[in-house]
Amino acid sequence: MQFGLIIVGDEILSGKRQDKHLPKVIELLSARGLSLAWARYVGDDPARLEAALQEAFAGPEPVFSCGGIGATPDDHTRQCAARALGVELALHPQAKALILERMADVAREQGLPFEPDRADNVHRLNMGVFPLGSELIPNPYNKIPGFSVRRVHFVPGFPVMAWPMIEWVLDHQYAEWCHRRDHVEKSVVVFGSMESTLTPLMERLEAAHAPVKVFSLPSVDHPEHGRHIELGVKGPAAQVEQAYAALLAGLREHDLELGPELVR
């Protein structure tokens, strides 16, 4: 199973903050034998975000959306999700209970009375206003939940909250797919060649060893290997072994200098 990823926020596109979600989501998926099919960055523009979410709801793969689910004026994800689905927004009763519980915890920690009807506390309940039909994603950091609609899963932009919430979704909703495919990558560092020279070999390998995919990663200034190409194959382990043996045999026919072999 492959997943999609949407990362929301002007601060990412402007460079004020560096995105950490993409490498972490790849790590979380890979640890479970899953993979990322695509990723998309979207700013805090409601029209663009709504269009991106429409595509996500219509697509075949599950999608994680990180960011924009708060209750400040620059948070639009909940509203855009509802419009993309053509449904209304409503305060989720379980989310309300969790947010009230969090507010009571904070008041107790600060030694203050809990005043749920105070204006700022009433406003905080907006963080539990989700598209109708949403299911909650628990937040172990501060109890304020994310939500899922169909196969699109919405979490906050803060990594300390988002990452355990994504793990929870993977382990509870997609457990049957975890480690279902024995996926492996094997590659070798090749010196003294160009991709155009090796392309016919790559095409033969893909044709003869489907569903294995061939990949080529050239580098001109690697700190250890200098100019080289990392050439490899990826896919189900059994087929990869056969394809990799054929790859090495083909490279030896070209009488090329080979460097370290890599397995992922």
DSSP letters along 196-254, please?
Answer: HHHHHHHHHHHHHSTT-EEEEEEEEEETTTEEEEEEEEEEEHHHHHHHHHHHHHHHHHT
31's tokens: 């640890």
**Residue 246 to residue 252: CA distance in whole angstroms:** 10
Other C-beta atoms lying within 10 Å of the C-beta of residue 253: 9
> What pLDDT, in 10s, does the model give residues 210-264?
999 999 999 988 888 889 999 999 988 889 999 999 999 999 998 889 999 988 7
pTM of the predicted model as reported, rounded to 2 decimal places? 0.81
**pLDDT band per the 50, 70, 90 thresholds, residue 99:** very high
The overall average pLDDT reported for the chain is: 94
Amino acid (one-letter) located at 156: P
Q: Which domains does the chain have, with CATH numbers?
A: 2-177 (3.40.980.10), 183-263 (3.30.70.2860)
Number of H helices, E strands in the chain: 9, 12
Using CB atoms within 10 Å of the CB of residue 141, give its burial: 0 to 12 exposed, 13 to 18 middle, 19+ buried: middle
Amino acid (one-letter) located at 147: F
The proportion of the chain whose per-residue pLDDT surpasses 70, expressed as a percent, equals: 99
Using CB atoms within 10 Å of the CB of residue 145, give its burial: 0 to 12 exposed, 13 to 18 middle, 19+ buried: buried
174's tokens: 């997609």
